[in-house]
């Protein structure tokens, strides 16, 4: 049965949804923008910094539920300007091991929540707990 959770450090979603949904195999993380993060407006307009802020928060959210950004299998990225793709890619790539990038879709969306320029959604494989050595 899925487990629906909200990150206690973020505002409760203004939409009918949860920040995180966990099942036996995956963590599904709702799209996140810097407008969702307190203080994020300070970096709005710099696509690299927006991406770093969002990715750092996503990593913390995953840690909160015992997962890791390194186990991301799929990402959806929405940009308000695809001409900024190289700058977003440079920041995004910092969060993954070289050549171990998740499958990804990147689209241009004319308007994102709160005036943000990037929104990122993740699907992350949950790590299996090591079997008890007493078994």
Domain ranges across the chain = 3-125
Is residue 129 very low, low, confident or very high in pLDDT (cuts 50, 70, 90)?
A: low
Q: What is the pTM of this model?
A: 0.90
Q: Please write the tens of the pLDDT for every residue from 66-106.
A: 999 999 999 999 999 999 999 999 999 999 998 899 999 99
Distance of alpha carbon 66 from alpha carbon 98, whole angstroms: 23
CATH assignment, 3-125:
3.30.1330.40
User: Sheet harboring 118-125: ordered strands across?
Assistant: 3-5, 20-22, 26-32, 118-125, 72-79, 103-108
Q: pLDDT at position 133, please?
A: 47
> Greater confidence, 80 or 133?
80
């Amino acid at each position: 049965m899925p487990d629906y959770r909200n990150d206690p450090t973020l505002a409760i979603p203004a939409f009918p949804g949860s920040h995180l949904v966990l099942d036996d195999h995956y963590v599904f993380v709702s799209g996140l923008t810097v407008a969702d993060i307190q203080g994020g407006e300070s970096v709005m307009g710099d696509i690299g910094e927006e991406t770093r802020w969002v990715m750092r928060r996503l990593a913390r959210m995953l840690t909160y539920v015992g997962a890791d950004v390194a186990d991301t299998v799929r990402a959806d990225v929405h940009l308000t300007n695809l001409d900024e793709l190289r700058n977003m890619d440079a920041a995004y790539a910092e969060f993954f091991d070289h050549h171990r990038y998740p499958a990804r879709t990147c689209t241009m969306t004319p308007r994102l929540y709160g005036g943000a320029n990037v929104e990122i959604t993740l699907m992350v494989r949950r790590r299996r707990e090591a079997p008890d050595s007493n078994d």
